[in-house]
Structure 1
Amino acid sequence: MDAVVKFTSQSQGKDRLFRATQYACALSVYLLRNNSERKALVAKLKSLETTMSAGRKLFRLGNTANSIEAAKRTMQLSDRVLCLCLTVSNVNRALYFICDNVLWARSVGLIHDIDKERWSLNASRYYFFSLVMNLTRDLYGVVQLMVQRANDKRFKQKMNQHLNESPEVAEVVIPQLDAFFFLLLETLKSHPAIALDTVKNICDLFIPLDRLGIYQPNAGVVGFCGLISSVIGILTLAQPTLRIKP
């Protein structure tokens, strides 16, 4: 119970719960869209989805400053690739939150003379670029870990044993390819933080791709991916050991 209270007392925790609810509603609406007996429920779910989205915008009002501070910290990283990826990602997140805050101000009537569609597209672009840089950082981290693991003598023995015990796989698949996927899976299993972050960023990528018209999956896919990334976000916030660093 103490863990639940601590989690929900954080603005990030509330935002992620709201986000999970928002995308769960979106997915449910898609699944029930053709059910004539559930029209009233679908209407309620749509209303709840809108409420959750509006609530999240309120929680994100201070995130621009947080992203700028994060960018200042990542600029000090000695690893140039991580420095570039994370700093660019945080700068784009800050720009995304600025657009998001402006859209929130317009929705509550504080601002009137702005092009809502233009600001929404800009927000999606900044969000997209931030996710691309996060995925680049994930790929870089995975490659580094795979190289370290491939150079480990004990792992080499384990991989050779795997290949020798699976001759039927080697006959169908190129042995080097099988070794690569074995190394990749073992690396991700040994480092769940980077595995979860990669899955989360891939799932999140469908959201701006849909809004920008680059790739338009159906609403069910967007809802499902948003829900999965939200659950991972909740998990990593509740269990800091599963959060990728830096």
Structure 2
Amino acid sequence: MDDLVNNIIKFNAQTNGRDKLCRLFQYGCRLAWGRLQQTDKKDLLTTLKNIESMLSMTRKLLRFGRSLDFIQGALKSIHLKDGVLRLTLTLSKINQAFYLLFDHFLWFHNVGAVKLDKQYWSDVSSRFYLATLLLNLSRDFYGIYQVIEEELALGESRGNSSGAYQNGEASPRTSRQRKVNVLDVLHQNIPLIMDTIKNLFDLAIPMSALQMVHLSPQKQGLFGIISSFLALLVVWNPTLKLVPS
């Protein structure tokens, strides 16, 4: 019980944790009002839309100044030895810094501090968010490719050492075992799989905002809930965080 309380206190002390929790409720509201669109519950529909808008504004405020964090992260990732990781992670962090920067502009517009073309700057922000997710997915797929290649190489080494090859070809049993090993290694890399799933579900959100795909508010809400829940798990349990990322 004490551990649970300590974890809750630790989670609540993190701005990132509160942001992800707000995001979960934000997309929960979108899912709910999306389901109510075809009903006569107009008051509840309006209330849920207002709550979603307030949560979105709260998240923009919570992330205020985080652009600098991602610029600093880019300066660190540029020194990674792996060329693919160096390129994808550095560009991802730079894009995310710009995405958040333009998101700050929208916050100032929403509170009436400045007057902007909201649709234009929302589209610019969404484009940087989309680029961030595509780069993150490139990093994820590269990571999956790496772990599978390593497992296959290890399987070949074991096959050679155990004499599992006949006339230079792997026996059917060895081939089946390789497939099992690939599944095993993916299971052993839960952070990588979680990050991939999260980014795939997130991808639909900026694509929908930019009208590249047409998703109902219900689907947007559902996808947002799934990705937010996975992000919350990572904040709650840092061992699930993909490294480097």
TM-score, normalised relative to structure 1:
0.86
Q: 1:107 aligns with which of 107, 110, 124?
A: 110
Letter paired with 1:74: S
- 144-153 vs 230-239, greater mean Cα deviation: 144-153
State the partner residue of 2:131: 129
Provide the residue aligned with 2:47 in structure 1: 44
**Per-residue deviation, residues 117-166 of structure 1 (Å, max 9, x unmatched):** 11111100000001000000000000000011112239977xxxxx75xx
Is the Cα–Cα contact under 8 Å of residues 149 and 155 in structure 1 kept in the other structure? no
8 Å CA contact 1:33, 1:42 repeated in 2: yes
SS at structure 1 position matched to 2:81: coil
Gaps of 5+ in 2: 160-171
Between the aligned residues of both structures, percent identity stands at: 34
Equivalent residue, structure 2, for 1:15: 19
Question: Which amino acid is the alignment partner of residue 8 of structure 1?
Answer: N
Q: 5 Å matches for 1:165-180?
A: none
Q: Alpha carbons of 1:149 and 1:43: their partners in 2 closer, same or farther (altered >3 Å)?
A: same
* Partner secondary structure for residue 152 of structure 1: helix
Q: Could you tell me which residue of structure 2 aligns to residue 32 of structure 1?
A: 36
Distance 2:154 2:148 in 1: 10
What's the TM-score once normalised by structure 2's chain length? 0.87
Matched residue, 2:168: none
User: What does residue 120 of structure 1 align with?
Assistant: 122
Task: Measure, in 2, the Cα distance between the counterparts of 1:180 and 1:26.
Answer: 44
Describe how 1:1-246 pairs up with structure 2 within 5 A: 1-36=5-40, 38-112=41-115, 114-153=116-155, 184-246=182-244
How many corresponding residue pairs?
Answer: 229
Give, as a single letter, the amino acid of the residue that structure 2 aligns with 1:11. T
Q: Return the alpha-carbon distance in structure 2 between the equivalents of residues 155 and 219 of structure 1.
A: 51
> CA separation in 1, counterparts of 2:151 and 2:191?
16
Is the 1:150–1:156 contact (alpha carbons within 8 Å) kept by the matching residues of 2? Answer: no
Identify if the C-alpha distance between structure 1 residues 66 and 243 changes in structure 2 by more than 3 Å, giving closer, same or farther: same
After the TM superposition, which segments of 4 or more aligned residues of structure 1 sit over 6 Å from their partners? 154-157, 178-181
Determine if contact 1:135/1:198 at 8 Å carries over to the other structure.
yes
**Unpaired runs of at least 5, structure 1:** 158-162, 165-175
1:120 and 1:40 map into 2 onto residues whose CA distance is 27
Q: 1:156 to 1:41 in 2, by over 3 A?
A: farther
How far did 1:46 drift?
1.5
Q: Deviation at 1:35?
A: 3.2
